[in-house]
Amino acid sequence: MPENQRTKLLIARKVPAAVAQRAVAEFHAFVTDADMDAWSVVDFCKQHAVPAVLVGKKSGLQAEHIAALPDCVKIIANASAGVDHLDVAAARERGIVVTNAPDALTECTADLSMLLVLAACRRASEYERIMRGGWGKSFGMTDMLGTRVNGKTLGIVGFGRIGRAVARRALGFGMRVIYTDINRAAPSVENGATWYASFEEMLPHCEVLTLHVPGGGAPLMTKKEFGRLPKGAVFINAARGGLVDEDALYDALTSGHLFGAGLDVYRNEPNVDKRFASLDNVFLTPHMASATVETRDQMGFTALDNVAAVLDGRPALNRV
Protein backbone atom coordinates (compact mmCIF):
# COMPACT_ATOMS: atom_id res chain seq x y z
CA MET A 1 0.00 0.00 0.00
CA PRO A 2 1.36 3.46 -0.84
CA GLU A 3 2.58 5.43 2.18
CA ASN A 4 -0.12 8.10 1.76
CA GLN A 5 -2.82 5.44 1.96
CA ARG A 6 -1.44 3.55 4.94
CA THR A 7 -3.40 3.48 8.20
CA LYS A 8 -1.67 6.01 10.45
CA LEU A 9 -4.15 6.14 13.29
CA LEU A 10 -6.10 3.66 15.39
CA ILE A 11 -9.22 5.09 16.99
CA ALA A 12 -9.80 2.61 19.79
CA ARG A 13 -13.00 4.11 21.17
CA LYS A 14 -16.31 5.07 19.65
CA VAL A 15 -16.25 8.68 18.48
CA PRO A 16 -18.82 11.01 16.88
CA ALA A 17 -19.39 10.58 13.16
CA ALA A 18 -17.79 13.91 12.29
CA VAL A 19 -14.60 12.92 14.11
CA ALA A 20 -14.50 9.51 12.45
CA GLN A 21 -14.99 11.03 9.01
CA ARG A 22 -12.13 13.47 9.47
CA ALA A 23 -9.88 10.73 10.88
CA VAL A 24 -10.46 8.50 7.88
CA ALA A 25 -9.96 11.35 5.41
CA GLU A 26 -6.73 12.65 6.97
CA PHE A 27 -5.10 9.54 8.43
CA HIS A 28 -6.81 6.58 6.74
CA ALA A 29 -7.72 5.73 10.30
CA PHE A 30 -9.14 2.45 11.47
CA VAL A 31 -12.19 3.40 13.55
CA THR A 32 -13.55 0.81 15.97
CA ASP A 33 -17.29 0.30 16.28
CA ALA A 34 -16.94 -0.84 19.91
CA ASP A 35 -14.48 0.36 22.55
CA MET A 36 -11.32 -1.74 22.46
CA ASP A 37 -9.43 -2.92 25.51
CA ALA A 38 -5.78 -2.09 26.07
CA TRP A 39 -4.29 -5.38 24.88
CA SER A 40 -6.34 -5.21 21.69
CA VAL A 41 -4.78 -1.81 21.07
CA VAL A 42 -1.31 -3.27 21.54
CA ASP A 43 -2.05 -6.15 19.17
CA PHE A 44 -3.43 -3.82 16.49
CA CYS A 45 -0.41 -1.55 16.69
CA LYS A 46 1.91 -4.52 16.27
CA GLN A 47 0.00 -5.90 13.29
CA HIS A 48 -0.47 -2.62 11.43
CA ALA A 49 2.52 -0.52 12.55
CA VAL A 50 0.37 2.55 13.23
CA PRO A 51 2.22 5.59 14.62
CA ALA A 52 -0.78 7.04 16.50
CA VAL A 53 -3.60 5.81 18.71
CA LEU A 54 -6.63 7.58 20.14
CA VAL A 55 -7.74 5.84 23.31
CA GLY A 56 -10.49 6.00 25.91
CA LYS A 57 -11.03 4.75 29.43
CA LYS A 58 -11.50 1.10 28.43
CA SER A 59 -8.39 1.21 26.25
CA GLY A 60 -6.36 3.12 28.84
CA LEU A 61 -2.74 2.06 28.47
CA GLN A 62 -0.87 1.23 31.67
CA ALA A 63 2.84 0.52 32.06
CA GLU A 64 2.65 -3.09 30.89
CA HIS A 65 0.72 -2.14 27.77
CA ILE A 66 3.03 0.74 26.92
CA ALA A 67 6.06 -1.50 27.34
CA ALA A 68 4.55 -3.89 24.79
CA LEU A 69 3.82 -1.25 22.14
CA PRO A 70 5.96 -1.37 19.00
CA ASP A 71 8.52 1.39 18.43
CA CYS A 72 6.42 2.86 15.61
CA VAL A 73 3.94 4.40 18.07
CA LYS A 74 4.72 8.10 18.46
CA ILE A 75 1.59 9.49 20.13
CA ILE A 76 -1.22 8.38 22.42
CA ALA A 77 -4.00 10.91 21.98
CA ASN A 78 -6.72 11.31 24.58
CA ALA A 79 -9.96 13.06 23.68
CA SER A 80 -10.76 14.12 27.24
CA ALA A 81 -9.04 16.35 29.78
CA GLY A 82 -8.28 13.69 32.38
CA VAL A 83 -5.48 11.17 31.81
CA ASP A 84 -5.84 9.07 34.97
CA HIS A 85 -6.49 6.03 32.75
CA LEU A 86 -3.00 6.36 31.20
CA ASP A 87 0.49 5.85 32.59
CA VAL A 88 1.96 9.09 31.31
CA ALA A 89 5.33 8.51 32.96
CA ALA A 90 5.73 5.12 31.28
CA ALA A 91 4.90 6.64 27.91
CA ARG A 92 7.36 9.47 28.46
CA GLU A 93 10.13 6.97 29.25
CA ARG A 94 9.53 5.37 25.86
CA GLY A 95 9.49 8.70 24.09
CA ILE A 96 5.77 8.47 23.30
CA VAL A 97 3.86 11.74 23.41
CA VAL A 98 0.61 11.77 25.42
CA THR A 99 -1.93 14.49 24.71
CA ASN A 100 -5.31 15.53 26.06
CA ALA A 101 -8.07 18.00 25.25
CA PRO A 102 -8.15 20.42 28.18
CA ASP A 103 -10.00 23.31 26.55
CA ALA A 104 -12.71 21.41 24.72
CA LEU A 105 -14.65 20.44 27.85
CA THR A 106 -14.43 23.70 29.79
CA GLU A 107 -17.66 25.47 28.93
CA CYS A 108 -19.98 22.46 28.98
CA THR A 109 -18.49 21.12 32.20
CA ALA A 110 -19.05 24.53 33.77
CA ASP A 111 -22.62 24.54 32.45
CA LEU A 112 -23.35 21.15 33.99
CA SER A 113 -21.71 22.20 37.27
CA MET A 114 -24.13 25.12 37.50
CA LEU A 115 -26.98 22.76 36.61
CA LEU A 116 -25.95 20.63 39.60
CA VAL A 117 -25.82 23.71 41.84
CA LEU A 118 -29.28 24.86 40.81
CA ALA A 119 -30.82 21.39 40.87
CA ALA A 120 -29.41 20.50 44.29
CA CYS A 121 -30.41 23.81 45.84
CA ARG A 122 -33.89 23.88 44.32
CA ARG A 123 -34.76 20.18 44.85
CA ALA A 124 -35.10 19.55 41.14
CA SER A 125 -34.96 15.77 41.47
CA GLU A 126 -37.89 15.73 43.88
CA TYR A 127 -39.95 18.21 41.86
CA GLU A 128 -39.43 16.22 38.67
CA ARG A 129 -40.52 12.97 40.35
CA ILE A 130 -43.63 14.65 41.71
CA MET A 131 -44.62 15.78 38.23
CA ARG A 132 -43.91 12.41 36.62
CA GLY A 133 -46.05 10.85 39.33
CA GLY A 134 -48.99 13.00 38.29
CA TRP A 135 -48.68 15.77 40.94
CA GLY A 136 -52.22 15.48 42.31
CA LYS A 137 -52.03 17.66 45.42
CA SER A 138 -51.33 21.30 46.19
CA PHE A 139 -48.31 22.43 48.15
CA GLY A 140 -48.55 25.06 50.82
CA MET A 141 -46.25 27.90 51.73
CA THR A 142 -44.07 25.72 53.96
CA ASP A 143 -43.87 22.65 51.72
CA MET A 144 -40.99 21.39 49.56
CA LEU A 145 -38.76 24.41 50.12
CA GLY A 146 -35.38 24.60 48.50
CA THR A 147 -32.51 26.90 49.35
CA ARG A 148 -31.84 30.12 47.48
CA VAL A 149 -28.85 30.27 45.12
CA ASN A 150 -28.69 34.04 44.76
CA GLY A 151 -26.56 35.55 47.49
CA LYS A 152 -24.88 32.30 48.50
CA THR A 153 -21.11 31.94 48.82
CA LEU A 154 -19.71 29.44 46.31
CA GLY A 155 -16.40 27.82 47.20
CA ILE A 156 -14.42 26.51 44.24
CA VAL A 157 -11.63 23.98 44.74
CA GLY A 158 -9.30 24.35 41.76
CA PHE A 159 -9.33 27.65 39.86
CA GLY A 160 -8.19 26.40 36.48
CA ARG A 161 -10.10 26.66 33.23
CA ILE A 162 -13.25 24.97 34.50
CA GLY A 163 -13.17 26.52 37.97
CA ARG A 164 -12.92 30.01 36.47
CA ALA A 165 -15.73 29.24 34.00
CA VAL A 166 -17.96 28.14 36.88
CA ALA A 167 -17.08 31.34 38.75
CA ARG A 168 -18.21 33.45 35.79
CA ARG A 169 -21.54 31.66 35.69
CA ALA A 170 -21.99 31.94 39.46
CA LEU A 171 -21.57 35.70 39.29
CA GLY A 172 -24.52 35.78 36.90
CA PHE A 173 -26.63 34.21 39.65
CA GLY A 174 -25.51 36.78 42.20
CA MET A 175 -23.26 34.40 44.12
CA ARG A 176 -20.15 35.46 46.02
CA VAL A 177 -17.16 33.44 44.80
CA ILE A 178 -14.25 32.23 46.89
CA TYR A 179 -11.64 29.72 45.79
CA THR A 180 -8.59 27.77 46.79
CA ASP A 181 -5.70 26.62 44.63
CA ILE A 182 -1.99 26.00 44.99
CA ASN A 183 -1.29 29.57 43.90
CA ARG A 184 -3.41 32.68 43.71
CA ALA A 185 -4.70 33.45 40.23
CA ALA A 186 -3.79 36.67 38.47
CA PRO A 187 -6.15 39.53 39.37
CA SER A 188 -7.16 39.74 35.72
CA VAL A 189 -8.82 36.29 35.91
CA GLU A 190 -9.99 36.39 39.54
CA ASN A 191 -12.89 38.62 38.52
CA GLY A 192 -13.54 39.60 42.13
CA ALA A 193 -13.18 36.11 43.62
CA THR A 194 -11.42 35.79 46.97
CA TRP A 195 -8.47 33.39 47.29
CA TYR A 196 -7.86 31.16 50.28
CA ALA A 197 -4.39 29.65 50.55
CA SER A 198 -5.79 26.93 52.82
CA PHE A 199 -8.52 24.53 51.73
CA GLU A 200 -9.41 23.86 55.37
CA GLU A 201 -9.69 27.57 56.10
CA MET A 202 -12.05 28.10 53.15
CA LEU A 203 -14.48 25.28 53.95
CA PRO A 204 -16.42 26.96 56.81
CA HIS A 205 -17.29 29.83 54.46
CA CYS A 206 -18.70 27.64 51.65
CA GLU A 207 -22.48 27.57 51.47
CA VAL A 208 -22.01 25.71 48.21
CA LEU A 209 -18.79 23.80 47.47
CA THR A 210 -17.74 22.54 44.03
CA LEU A 211 -14.66 20.52 43.07
CA HIS A 212 -12.61 21.15 39.93
CA VAL A 213 -9.30 19.37 40.49
CA PRO A 214 -7.77 16.18 39.02
CA GLY A 215 -8.39 12.80 40.61
CA GLY A 216 -5.83 10.37 41.95
CA GLY A 217 -4.51 9.79 45.44
CA ALA A 218 -6.46 9.86 48.69
CA PRO A 219 -9.94 11.40 48.81
CA LEU A 220 -10.00 15.16 49.20
CA MET A 221 -13.40 15.14 50.91
CA THR A 222 -13.59 12.94 53.99
CA LYS A 223 -15.63 13.09 57.20
CA LYS A 224 -13.31 15.84 58.45
CA GLU A 225 -13.78 18.10 55.43
CA PHE A 226 -17.55 17.61 55.24
CA GLY A 227 -17.69 18.44 58.93
CA ARG A 228 -15.97 21.77 58.34
CA LEU A 229 -18.67 22.88 55.90
CA PRO A 230 -21.44 24.95 57.50
CA LYS A 231 -24.66 23.13 58.32
CA GLY A 232 -27.02 23.30 55.36
CA ALA A 233 -24.26 23.52 52.76
CA VAL A 234 -24.62 22.01 49.30
CA PHE A 235 -21.88 19.81 47.79
CA ILE A 236 -21.18 19.57 44.04
CA ASN A 237 -18.83 17.21 42.19
CA ALA A 238 -18.39 17.12 38.42
CA ALA A 239 -14.64 16.43 38.62
CA ARG A 240 -13.67 12.90 39.71
CA GLY A 241 -15.46 10.41 41.96
CA GLY A 242 -12.22 9.40 43.64
CA LEU A 243 -12.01 12.82 45.28
CA VAL A 244 -14.80 11.85 47.68
CA ASP A 245 -15.14 9.40 50.54
CA GLU A 246 -18.67 8.32 49.65
CA ASP A 247 -19.42 6.90 53.10
CA ALA A 248 -18.63 10.30 54.58
CA LEU A 249 -20.78 12.03 51.95
CA TYR A 250 -23.70 9.69 52.60
CA ASP A 251 -23.45 10.32 56.34
CA ALA A 252 -23.35 14.10 55.81
CA LEU A 253 -26.45 13.93 53.61
CA THR A 254 -28.48 11.64 55.88
CA SER A 255 -27.53 13.40 59.10
CA GLY A 256 -28.85 16.71 57.82
CA HIS A 257 -25.46 18.39 57.92
CA LEU A 258 -25.63 18.89 54.15
CA PHE A 259 -28.80 20.29 52.60
CA GLY A 260 -28.09 18.39 49.41
CA ALA A 261 -25.63 17.38 46.72
CA GLY A 262 -25.31 17.40 42.96
CA LEU A 263 -23.14 14.60 41.59
CA ASP A 264 -21.95 13.74 38.10
CA VAL A 265 -19.04 11.47 39.08
CA TYR A 266 -18.64 8.49 41.42
CA ARG A 267 -15.96 6.24 42.87
CA ASN A 268 -17.08 3.05 41.16
CA GLU A 269 -18.43 4.08 37.77
CA PRO A 270 -20.68 2.97 36.22
CA ASN A 271 -21.81 0.95 39.25
CA VAL A 272 -22.83 3.87 41.45
CA ASP A 273 -23.43 3.34 45.15
CA LYS A 274 -27.20 2.68 45.18
CA ARG A 275 -27.61 4.43 48.52
CA PHE A 276 -27.41 7.81 46.75
CA ALA A 277 -30.28 6.95 44.43
CA SER A 278 -32.47 6.43 47.49
CA LEU A 279 -31.87 9.96 48.81
CA ASP A 280 -34.29 12.72 47.90
CA ASN A 281 -31.69 15.43 48.54
CA VAL A 282 -29.24 14.28 45.84
CA PHE A 283 -29.41 15.21 42.16
CA LEU A 284 -27.59 12.60 40.06
CA THR A 285 -26.27 12.59 36.50
CA PRO A 286 -24.24 9.76 34.87
CA HIS A 287 -20.85 11.45 34.19
CA MET A 288 -22.26 13.62 31.42
CA ALA A 289 -20.49 16.96 31.88
CA SER A 290 -19.10 16.96 28.33
CA ALA A 291 -22.10 15.33 26.69
CA THR A 292 -23.10 17.83 24.03
CA VAL A 293 -22.72 17.41 20.29
CA GLU A 294 -20.45 20.44 20.04
CA THR A 295 -18.14 19.45 22.89
CA ARG A 296 -17.78 15.79 21.97
CA ASP A 297 -16.92 16.80 18.38
CA GLN A 298 -14.38 19.33 19.65
CA MET A 299 -12.82 16.75 21.98
CA GLY A 300 -12.25 14.43 19.03
CA PHE A 301 -11.02 17.21 16.75
CA THR A 302 -8.52 18.32 19.40
CA ALA A 303 -7.14 14.79 19.62
CA LEU A 304 -6.80 14.71 15.82
CA ASP A 305 -5.07 18.11 15.81
CA ASN A 306 -2.51 16.71 18.22
CA VAL A 307 -2.01 13.60 16.09
CA ALA A 308 -1.49 15.74 12.99
CA ALA A 309 1.08 17.91 14.75
CA VAL A 310 3.16 15.02 16.07
CA LEU A 311 3.08 13.03 12.82
CA ASP A 312 4.15 16.20 10.96
CA GLY A 313 7.14 16.59 13.26
CA ARG A 314 5.67 19.59 15.08
CA PRO A 315 5.18 19.96 18.86
CA ALA A 316 1.93 18.57 20.22
CA LEU A 317 -0.66 21.24 20.96
CA ASN A 318 -1.73 19.72 24.28
CA ARG A 319 1.12 17.58 25.52
CA VAL A 320 0.56 16.19 29.02
Active site residues: 240, 269, 287
Plot region of 191 (φ>0 → left; ψ -120 to 50 → alpha; else → beta)? left
Q: Rounded CA gap, 203 and 206, in Å?
A: 5
What is d(CA 59, CA 303) in angstroms, rounded to the nearest whole number? 15
The answer to whether 160 and 108 have CB atoms below 8 angstroms apart is: no
Cβ atoms of residues 180 and 199 within 8 Å:
yes
Residue 125 to residue 122: CA distance in whole angstroms? 9
CB of 124 within 8 A of CB of 68?
A: no
Residue 174: other Cβ atoms inside 10 A: 11
Can you list the pairs that 24-31 forms with residues at least 24 positions away whose Cβ atoms lie under 8 Å? 26/304, 26/308, 27/52, 27/304, 27/307, 27/308, 27/311
Contact between 277 and 284 under an 8 Å Cβ cutoff? The reply is yes
User: Which string of b and e fits 59-88 if b means at least 16 CB within 10 Å?
Assistant: bbbeeebbeebeeebbbbbbbbbbbebbbb
